[in-house]
Structure 1
Amino acid sequence: MAGGARPSHQARPAGDGRYGERVFRPEDRGEGDRIDLGALAYDDTTMARLRELGVGPGWTCLDVGAGTGTVARRLLREAGVAEVLAVDRDVRFLAEHPEPGLSVLEADVTADGFSPGVFRLVHARFVLMHLPSPERMVAALGGLLAPGGVLVVSDAVDLTTDSAPVTPYTTAMRAMWRGLRDSIGTDVSRVSHYPELLRAAGLGSVAAEIHVPPLVPGSAISRFWADTWGRARAAMVATGLVDDARIDEAVRCLDSPQCTGLSPGMLTAWGWRGEAAP
């Protein structure tokens, strides 16, 4: 992508694969560790927001796409919630460490009839961007809220836009977003619309924020992206925007103090069912 026009990943139709099938398969060695690197980068921000929203003792919580369960367990241990139902299409990482108050459900949240109950908190992080209809999912998850409950959704926002400098890092990141869209339908272009989707779902007191962790050599977020590129390498190369050598160069860039790129941010949006925010 060095020089010339920069074709947008939004211009191509989304792929028909699914997260966890072609790439990021839970059975692949080290996938749980990759997820945990993302948790190290983002969990503190997530927990700070949930505490600010008043999540605490007595709350019942649904954690959608719970991964290795780091947020679910911190809700129990730190926020003191009553119970957490952690849901994922593959629960092998969740089932490894049982905990009082933590229930695990293997399910596809996009399936018709998914209705595990009602909850004071419904939380989904890095889930909707991989699904074909975030509008439908926001409405469905909002329907699982008890009166006075809050829906909190977080996803990635791309900061390697056309106005960003062309560097090994930005070139690899653009190729990753294009490759993931082409192969499994990941689309981060819709994430900035989440507040409007929450309002359209009938939720009130809607607000949003963005957190961008710094790219520091050896940091959890830098290691997360290097590992993510490794697992998405074939999809990235298939775009024609990078080859193996350019991906390797971008990995070296991440481990250099000279890297000046911006990591994708995490946009978190929330809205309340039936009652204003406390």
Structure 2
Amino acid sequence: MSTPDEGYGETIFSHADANEYERLQALSDALDPVTLSVLESLPSEVGPQWLELGAGNGSVARWMAERHPSVHVTGTDRSLRFLDPRGHDNLRFLCHDVTQDSFPDGSWDLIHARYLLCHLPERDYVHSATTRWLSPGGWLVLEEPALFPLHSARDDAYRRVSLGALEVLAQRLGTDCTDCALNLPIKSASLGLADISMQVTCPTITLGTPACTFWRLTLEHLKPAIAELPYVREEEVADVIDRLSQPGFLDLGMATITVTARKPCSGEPRDGSGAEEHRNGEQR
């Protein structure tokens, strides 16, 4: 794929767009229950330095700070428009471009990123960098979208328009919703991480659900570009958006792949046998 001409948030999904906060809030409402459950299931001895990359509207970083008042939480994003640390003494937000700005090796005990790597052509570099930034014994939690359920959507127009939206993102931003998420476990293993687990969540798209609101607003934002694709008619895009706003529509959405992995301590066997309890999905 050729190098994209723009980055996430420059034109597509700019925080200055009228509905962007609503779109991000809907995504948080859809995904936070799984994210927070996974974070809550991590071992209690995780150290106190926590990093939220690509904090978006800040929902996960705020939960970290509220749920764990003894932890020091840093949330980063290229835009701080929607991020406010007030009311949380243990939370700060930092303007930070993960493709250019770094942190010292071993400086974070927990790093979480959601729907970040897929939008970065430099995703392999960033994945490797986050591993270096982890302290020995620290945890990496990555969540990325995967489009494979959309291929099984029963509504033909909805399927083509939805896949068209992801093609637009691939062309404009270099977004990868095909392989990025599914490759997370094997790439994490290749970087020396241990205790790797994977969870798959697939919401349905129907009126009244946060996933539906998120996807409708995404399609509205990308509507002109989707309509230019050769296999989508302009009126189909408007029709799909309209039907997502009406009762009765029900189909598959994108999956979210959640991968957790731990950085082994010095001298520890690569298989990470010391965290068997977490790998088997047991709660602490």
TM tier, shorter chain? Answer: 0.7 to 0.9
- Return the alpha-carbon distance in structure 2 between the equivalents of residues 241 and 270 of structure 1: 38
Please, which of 123, 133, 150 is the counterpart of residue 112 of structure 2? Answer: 123
- Return the alpha-carbon distance in structure 2 between the equivalents of residues 239 and 47 of structure 1: 37
Is residue 198–residue 270 contact of structure 1 (8 Å, CA) maintained in 2? Answer: no
* Counterpart code for 1:128: L
* Counterpart code for 2:6: G
- Corresponding residue of 2:38: 49
- Deviation string 1:32-67 (CA, Å, 9 cap, x unpaired) is 121011000000110001111236885321000001
Pair 144,234 (structure 1): closer, same or farther in 2 beyond 3 Å: same
- Corresponding residue of 1:192: 182
Please, which of 195, 199, 209 is the counterpart of residue 205 of structure 1? Answer: 195
Please, which of 200, 207, 214 is the counterpart of residue 217 of structure 1? Answer: 207
Is residue 146–residue 273 contact of structure 1 (8 Å, CA) maintained in 2? Answer: yes
Q: Which moved more, 1:194-203 or 1:254-263?
A: 254-263
Kindly state the Cα deviation for residue 83 of structure 1 after the two structures are TM-superposed.
1.3
- Return the alpha-carbon distance in structure 1 between the equivalents of residues 8 and 26 of structure 2: 18
Aligned length: 266
- Corresponding residue of 1:108: 97
- Corresponding residue of 1:262: 252
- Return the alpha-carbon distance in structure 2 between the equivalents of residues 149 and 265 of structure 1: 26
Q: Which moved more, 1:233-242 or 1:265-274?
A: 233-242
Q: Secondary structure at the match of 2:241?
A: helix
Q: Which moved more, 1:244-253 or 1:177-186?
A: 244-253
- Return the alpha-carbon distance in structure 2 between the equivalents of residues 62 and 149 of structure 1: 11
Tell me the TM-score normalized by structure 1: 0.88
Superposition RMSD on alpha carbons, in Å?
2.1
Pair 200,261 (structure 1): closer, same or farther in 2 beyond 3 Å: same
Q: How does 1:29-44 map to 2 (within 5 A)?
A: 29-44=18-33
Pair 69,81 (structure 1): closer, same or farther in 2 beyond 3 Å: farther
Q: Secondary structure at the match of 2:211?
A: helix
Q: Which runs of 5+ in 1 are unaligned?
A: 1-11
- Return the alpha-carbon distance in structure 2 between the equivalents of residues 272 and 234 of structure 1: 42
Pair 88,62 (structure 1): closer, same or farther in 2 beyond 3 Å: same
- Corresponding residue of 1:3: none
Please, which of 224, 228, 231 is the counterpart of residue 234 of structure 1? Answer: 224
Please, which of 170, 177, 183 is the counterpart of residue 166 of structure 2? Answer: 177
